[in-house]
Chains A and B, each alone.
Chain A
């Protein structure tokens, strides 16, 4: 490191080791910071070459406190130059600012900032447009898959409860089901199963299947109210809400797996919680609109729908029901009662008949007079015919 011109680094010769990249050997060399590039002189054999500053690449970005520099030139493939000592690195920073840590950091960060902006913009666009990928996939699911998904959901949710199979009750249920299902205009048959379960509840599961509890039948004051609840659940089914919910949950779990490099765990559950919270209000309004359409088509009064949900919400506030049960459908419906009542009242009046005859309504209420163990595996050969 002999310096010949103090005060200027122009003529300082720095000791360096030059490797040609063909063998692991290194030759002693001297390097000077020239006007347009590094002037490298190898000792033996005596070779002189110039690496222009623009072509320089550094193994690690240059810093003030770097103790050495490892350099390459894009014009000289394979070759590398190792210059020990802090002064050279500091002097080179002035000549080749693109090798500094700051420049390198910015170059490195730029595409990532761009990507973050794109992700945020895409998220915002999806959110604003209301397009749902999960819904799109749900629409494409084959019917047999939806059936099986629903069976699984029913099996896991109704575990420990018996299925209600009183023949006269089943007849009444079937006639109500037929009247509503025909009115949906979708041509899809619905399966409705009643379980001997004291909780007041009804929920739609994939595959156009609906589970209703004995507790709900007991609390309902008329067949119209039950019809309203069933129409609402059919509305969920028509809109594919149960399928969409499951796909959204699975998709989020997969996305989290992808993000965490396949070794996630706890974070997947956070995704699931968010998925459950997501867009329930929109879904409820959609189900209500479908329900009103179905009830009108079936010529059943929409008053039952409004009355029942209103009463149940009032009850829910009093009840000290275990909070984890509130996630089930009718108890998690949170469109304000006002809004729902307004929706029902806005309906043009139409000629309506009672959903069921008095006798049939009594039969339906008594459907749990005979119960059977719900078998865990049921082939959905004839989903409308509950197992005897």
Chain B
């Protein structure tokens, strides 16, 4: 618990320097019951409830997170989230949808018009994704409080969105232009080579970019009136990135080598060159096994890089006289991600099997020759049998997965050093009125 050093009086103000212990309530409810209730209500309200469901999960997760034993509070409401979503739906999603429909009606059969439209939409969305991240974080911080003191994110979402955008789009445009120029002036082979090497090289911008975005976000973060600061530089990330990059490259090359070896050794390749006959099922299964292992290995390597990035970000994040520290480990993060995925897949598979059994038992299969009313009736019943368990089970899996992620990330976080808690005053900035909208639409708001 807290360790209060009673400092001498300084200019009439009592100063107390305390350590802050971050814990995750070990007796916390697993949120399975809550997920179940949320799923049922989502079905009954045709999905409208999902904003409220998300809020309920957050309220729980926040209250499980404790600073010196006292819980964080989440004060956001489902209504705020829902209105934010409705606005974004009306302003971004619906116009995009209608625009796409209009383009394909006005230029029937013109694939190029549709492609141009899609490119424009993707470009806009890439910009909006960064903005969405920032706005979501701003909303969540403004709705997070401890001892009644709010968090805040100052700064401009547009600026963050723009940085997010150009650090990806800039290199892509540059490389593509260079490749086109080379293809036009020297030859298509050179252009293609430049494109391939260029995009592989461009991956090396990612640690720098992540660090830059982290700095923008952290430096704009406040707890009460006190700023959080970030001092990290991208340098240390690069050694880790080199391992991850080289490791993944080697795994992929090995995967290619093994598949080629398997195909030539089994003769499938020779058969294919002569008769264009596809490889046998057994060979196909072997190939799938090789590439699933390749993917799993790459995911583990990526997770270990992500873990080191989380540790780097934490280490260089300072608050008052203290610095954060995270002991997230690569293998455990990889396992967390993988097991959460398995959890979701398992939940949905269970739901579909349960639904199929229900359909089989009740014999609700649409039959030709019956009246329309009867067919619509049975089809509706089938949809209900499949969709209801699916929505409920995935709500359960989502809540539990979010619980597991939060528990791990919070439990591995600590704050080293002392904080002058008593002098942190309430933040006077106006908090955003509506929920995160955009992030919800892009499904990137996490939890």
Q: Are B108 and A148 in contact, CB atoms less than 8 angstroms apart?
A: yes
* Number of chain B interface residues as a range: 35 or more
Q: Does B383 contact A (CB under 8 A)?
A: yes
B425 and A278 contact, CB distance less than 8 A: no
State the CA gap A334–B368 with chains docked (Å).
10
Counting CB contacts under 8 A, is A52 at the interface? no
The CA-CA distance from A79 to B426 in the complex, in Å, is 12
- Closest chain A residue to B422, Cβ basis: A25
Q: Does B379 lie within 8 Å of A59, measured CB to CB?
A: no
| Closest-CB distance, A89 to chain B (whole angstroms) | 13
Contact B59 A60 (CB under 8 A): yes
In angstroms, Cα B41 to Cα A19, docked, is 36
A116, B372: Cβ atoms closer than 8 Å = no
A78 within 8 A of B: yes
The listed residue (A70, A79, A258, A377) touching B71 by CB distance below 8 A is A70
Verify B45–A148 contact, CB threshold 8 A. no
Chain B residues near A267 (CB-CB < 8 A)? 387
B440 touches A262 (CB 8 A): yes
User: Which of B46-54, B276-284, B288-296, B330-338 forms contacts with chain A?
Assistant: B46-54
**Closest Cβ neighbor of A72 among chain B residues:** B148
A115 vs B46: C-alpha distance when bound (angstroms): 10
- Pick the residue among B16, B71, B376, B442 that contacts A25 (CB under 8 A): B16
Residues of B within 8 A of A113 (CB): 44
Q: Are A257 and B93 in contact (CB under 8 A)?
A: yes
A112 touches B44 (CB 8 A): yes
Q: Which residues of A contact B426 (CB under 8 A)?
A: 21-23, 78
A334 & B371 in contact (Cβ 8 Å cutoff): yes
Q: In the bound complex, do residue B148 and residue A80 qualify as a contact, i.e. CB atoms below 8 Å apart? A: yes
- Of the candidates B46, B63, B69, B425, the one whose C-beta lies within 8 Å of that of A259 is B46
> What count of chain A residues pass the 8 Å CB interface test?
52
- Residues in chain B near residue A151, CB distance under 8 A: 108
Contact A25 B45, beta carbon cutoff 8 Å: no
Cα separation A60 to B58 with both chains bound (whole Å): 12
Contact indicator A259/B371 (Cβ below 8 Å): no
Q: In the complex, A80 Cα to B75 Cα: how many Å?
A: 13
Q: CB of B363 within 8 A of chain A?
A: no
A-facing residues in B84-115 (Cβ within 8 Å): 85, 89, 93-94, 97, 101, 104-106, 108-110
Q: Are A152 and B109 in contact (CB under 8 A)?
A: yes
Residue positions of A touching B, CB distance < 8 A: 17, 19-26, 59-60, 67-68, 70, 78-80, 82, 84, 109, 112-113, 115-116, 119, 145, 148-149, 151-152, 155, 250, 254, 257-263, 267, 270, 273-274, 277-281, 334, 376-377
Does B189 lie at the interface of the complex (its beta carbon under 8 Å from any beta carbon of A)? no
- Say which residue of A112, A263, A377 sits within 8 Å of B45 (CB atoms): A112
Q: Does B423 sit at the interface, judged by CB under 8 A?
A: yes
Instruction: Given A26-B147, A334-B371, answer yes or no on A115-B48 (Cβ-Cβ < 8 Å).
Output: yes
By Cβ-Cβ distance, the 3 closest A-B pairs, closest first, are A259-B47, A21-B148, A25-B422
- B105–A23 contact, CB under 8 A? no
Task: Tell me, rounded to whole Å, the shortest Cβ–Cβ distance linking B364 to chain A.
Answer: 14
- Is B373 an interface residue when CB atoms closer than 8 A count as contact? yes
B108 touches A23 (CB 8 A): no
- A261 CA / B93 CA spacing, docked (Å): 10
Question: B177 near A: Cβ within 8 Å?
Answer: no
A74 shortest CB reach to chain B, Å: 14
- Contacts A22-B425, A24-B421: A116 and B44 contacting too (C-beta < 8 A)? yes
Task: Indicate if B441 sits at the interface (CB-CB under 8 A).
Answer: yes
Find out whether the CB atom of B147 lies under 8 angstroms from the CB atom of A24: yes
For the complex, is B375 an interface residue (Cβ under 8 Å from A)? yes
Whether A278 contacts B93 by the Cβ 8 Å rule is no
In the complex, what residues of A have CB within 8 A of residue B45's CB?
112, 115-116, 119
Determine the distance from Cα of A21 to Cα of B147 in the docked complex, in whole angstroms.
Answer: 6
**Choice from B27, B59, B108 contacting A67 with Cβ under 8 Å:** B27
Partner among B25, B383, B425 whose Cβ is within 8 Å of the Cβ of A274: B383
Q: Which of B375, B380, B425 has a CB less than 8 Å from the CB of A23?
A: B425
Q: Which residue of A lies closest to B89 (CB)?
A: A258
Residue of A nearest to B59 (CB): A60
A279 contacts across to B, CB distance below 8 A? 372
**A261 in contact with B379 given A22-B425, A60-B59, A67-B27 (CB within 8 Å):** no
Supposing A59-B71, A262-B443 touch, asked if A145 and B105 sit within 8 A by C-beta, the answer is: yes
> For residue B408, which residues in chain A have a CB less than 8 angstroms away from its CB?
none
Question: B424 interface residue, CB < 8 Å from A?
Answer: yes
Question: Are B440 and A250 within 8 A (Cβ)?
Answer: no
Q: How many angstroms from the CA of A122 to the CA of B328 in the assembled complex?
A: 51
Given the known A-B contacts A23-B149, A84-B69, are A376 and B109 also in contact in the complex, defined by CB atoms under 8 Å? yes
Q: Within the assembled complex, what's the spacing in Å between the Cα atoms of A115 and B69?
A: 39
